[in-house]
Amino acid sequence: MAFKIGLLGLGTVGTGTAEILLSPEGRHPLVQELEIYRVGVRSLDKPRTVQLPPDILTTDIEAIVTDPEVDIVVEVLGGLEPARSLILKAISHGKHVVTANKAVISRFGDEIFTAANSSGVYVMLEAAVGGGIPVIQPLKQALGVNRIQAVTGIVNGTTNYILTRMRDEGADFGEVLADAQKLGYAEADPTADVDGLDAADKIAILASLAFGGRIKLEDVYCEGISGVGAADIAYAEKLGFAIKLLAIAKKVDSDKEKLSVRVHPTLVPKIHPLASVSGVYNAIFVEGEPIGQVMFYGRGAGAGPTASAVVSDIINIAAVLKTRDASKLHPLLSCSHQHYCQIAPMEELVTRFYARFLTKDSPGVIGKLGTCFGDRGVSLESVVQTGFQNEFAEIVVVTHDVREGNFRQALDEIRTLDAVDSIASLLRVL
């Protein structure tokens, strides 16, 4: 056994990882050279589905990351602490690290990669985004020769599952969420998923790799799916769109030095490859020069897929350790950028919008809306009076590309109109 693994955590992903390492036959021969040397757990007595020699389990997790015998630390504890401190301590003890922890990497990536580079170790994170889908490795290796223009992802399975069921069943957000919680597709506290926070962590990581700069998580605009109504999904369908929670990182057309990085529910044209990514599946769509468009698709979560990503990171480190000149880091596996990307504020975003208004059923309402939009230079692609909600008429508007700031000013004016009861929903269009 050549490489000793210290596994931190034996939950879903940790168990999946151990299962791969314990049954190497039929896999890449390097898997045979990996030894599960220590496993850090909270309780020694908990029944486990995976068979491990009892003497390698320990509750002294800190002892693993400082153990001189350990070559590679695999952090699959989740959460911010003690995960962050353990990763940093492992690095300072010269261990390579594999982590599935998007929350830690998106918040403390700068601290962690700075430490890793100065210690000459690798920190690998394929499992942090898109479960088993190879996307981190391709961004670092295969796509790096391109000038990336945009990364657009469906990177949260829970929200994609909810939106898919809302569409299929014509159901409202609340009832589908409740059922998803019952079925285990959504957490008891669903905030991180449905408010887009999990997707924000992931797009910060993807943007950093795609555009070669660090991203401050607080710069990522984030809007969840709880405001998406069954009516919006139905109208979007009729107009030829699917509604998806997209995580987008994109060069600003008018200023290539700036990025727009954001998470929000989005109308996606049905002919776009992302529109047909349904249920718990994830997909990451990358546009670059000269490659054009490529997409990576698969299950974004679950023990098996995530463990596949973890172990692929481990064998990538092992492969380099077997062949490298130890004084040099492999430039496609390490993470060397140190500047921060410049992020454009949302009001400068240029995009199409979808808006649904509840108005009095009086003549001339569409004209008044049109005037407010026209005054702010907002050009409309379509305006449809779609039906009634109680005593109000529903009007759905889709704009051409418009600066978000201008669109919002028009909405502020529209809100003051007597004929307008409310803006029932407001979504961006890809």
Residues known to be catalytic: 202
Name the residue with tokens 């490859």.
273
* Dist CA 365 CA 359 (whole Å): 7
User: Does residue 184 interact with its own copies by CB under 8 A?
Assistant: no
207 HSE (CA, 13 A, CB side): 29
Query: H-helix or E-strand containing 74?
Result: strand 72-75
Q: Segment 216-275, which members bind its own copies (CB under 8 A)?
A: 273
Pick 119 or 385: Cβ nearer its own copies: 119
Applying CB under 8 A, among 112, 129, 245, 309 the residue interacting with its own copies is 309
Amino acid making up residue 390: N
Pick 168 or 347: Cβ nearer its own copies: 168
Applying CB under 8 A, among 1, 80, 332, 423 the residue interacting with its own copies is 332
Applying CB under 8 A, among 331, 364, 367, 387 the residue interacting with its own copies is 331
The angle at the Cα of 131, spanning 45 to 229, to the nearest 5 degrees, equals: 110
- Distances from the Cα of 98 to the Cα of 35, 138, 260, 405, angstroms: 15, 17, 29, 42
Q: How far is the CB of 315 from its own copies (least distance, A)?
A: 6
Q: How far is the CB of 296 from its own copies (least distance, A)?
A: 6
Question: What is the maximum alpha-carbon separation in the chain?
Answer: 80
Q: Which stretch binds its own copies (CB under 8 A): 65-73, 91-99, 286-294, 397-405?
A: 286-294
* Dist CA 317 CA 255 (whole Å): 38
User: Does residue 19 interact with its own copies by CB under 8 A?
Assistant: yes
Characterize the bridge pairing of strands 281-289 and 342-343: unpaired
User: Does residue 325 interact with its own copies by CB under 8 A?
Assistant: yes
Q: Which stretch binds its own copies (CB under 8 A): 227-235, 324-332, 353-361, 403-411?
A: 324-332
Pick 11 or 331: Cβ nearer its own copies: 331
* Dist CA 173 CA 225 (whole Å): 8
Q: Are 217 and 201 in contact (CB under 8 A)?
A: yes
Q: How far is the CB of 134 from its own copies (least distance, A)?
A: 4
Applying CB under 8 A, among 76, 77, 203, 307 the residue interacting with its own copies is 307
- Distances from the Cα of 174 to the Cα of 184, 202, 253, 265, angstroms: 15, 25, 37, 16
Q: How far is the CB of 159 from its own copies (least distance, A)?
A: 19
String of contacts with its own copies for each residue 131-170, x by CB under 8 A? -xxx--xx--xxxxxxx-----------------------
Applying CB under 8 A, among 56, 171, 295, 350 the residue interacting with its own copies is 295
